């Protein structure tokens, strides 16, 4: 993947080696067989980002039980990150244990198309990349600098992606873990449906078949 090429869903997440608050990181090696949440921040010592990194840290257990490793990125250097982490821990009553990439040369920012000149010519926009264990980009969300991320939504997207990977279902509007789901239109054989969804289903329309979440 060349620099400044827009990444699309289904693309391979670009590999990289970069400095971080926890030493140099070779991305693929660091990710291993885990899901990864890669999220960018405009700059260190910014108010909204401080709350976001604090929230990420507070949700450490929720990410861990889903097999997700969070990693942040800012274009500031390691020394700045270390000082900022102290502020985050103090103001958000937490302890940041995930790495923050120190992308001072903007190598990763360019690989992931995070520099948007109509927002800022130097700092990264507020983007999230959901990357699966095969290093495939499965979903992205980009927010303006003024809007902090909704971490309930981030966890919901992860739950939906992982559920879709393990069962032949999709999740409807406003779905939350434990709610009913929709059987994929590609599943048409009734014997297969009975086997996959023993709790049964309701056919609202032939293409809209609702069933209880199969792993609950």
Residues with catalytic roles: 49
44 CB burial (10 A radius; 0-12, 13-18, 19+) = buried
Other CB atoms within 10 A of residue 164 CB: 15
Which residues are paired to 73 by β-bridges? 40, 101
CA dist., res. 92 & res. 132, Å (int): 29
Helix (H) or strand (E) holding 100: strand 100-102
CA dist., res. 104 & res. 169, Å (int): 42
CA dist., res. 202 & res. 86, Å (int): 53
- In contact, 147 and 158? CB cutoff 8 Å: no
End-to-end CA separation in angstroms for the chain:
39
Q: Give the pairing type, strands 181-183 and 169-170.
A: antiparallel
38 CB burial (10 A radius; 0-12, 13-18, 19+) = buried
CA dist., res. 107 & res. 113, Å (int): 10
């Amino acid at each position: 993947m060349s620099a400044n090429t827009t990444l699309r869903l289904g693309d391979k997440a670009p590999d990289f080696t970069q400095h971080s608050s926890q030493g140099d990181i070779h991305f693929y090696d660091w990710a291993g067989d885990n899901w990864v949440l890669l999220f960018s921040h405009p700059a260190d010592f910014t108010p909204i980002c401080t709350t976001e990194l604090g929230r990420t840290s507070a949700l450490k257990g929720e990410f861990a039980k889903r097999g997700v490793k969070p990693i942040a990125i800012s274009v500031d250097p390691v020394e700045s990150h270390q000082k900022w982490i102290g502020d985050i821990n103090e103001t958000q009553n937490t302890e940041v244990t995930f790495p923050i990439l120190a992308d001072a040369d903007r190598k990763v920012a360019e690989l992931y198309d995070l520099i948007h000149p109509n927002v800022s010519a130097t700092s990264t926009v507020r983007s999230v990349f959901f990357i699966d264990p095969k290093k495939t980009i499965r979903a992205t969300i980009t927010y303006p600098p003024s809007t902090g991320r909704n971490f309930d939504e981030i966890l919901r997207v992860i739950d939906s992606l992982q559920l879709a990977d393990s069962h032949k279902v999709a999740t409807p509007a406003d779905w939350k873990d434990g709610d009913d789901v929709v059987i994929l239109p590609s599943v048409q054989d009734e014997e297969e449906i009975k086997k996959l969804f023993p709790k049964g289903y309701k056919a609202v329309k032939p293409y809209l078949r609702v069933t209880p979440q199969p792993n609950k």
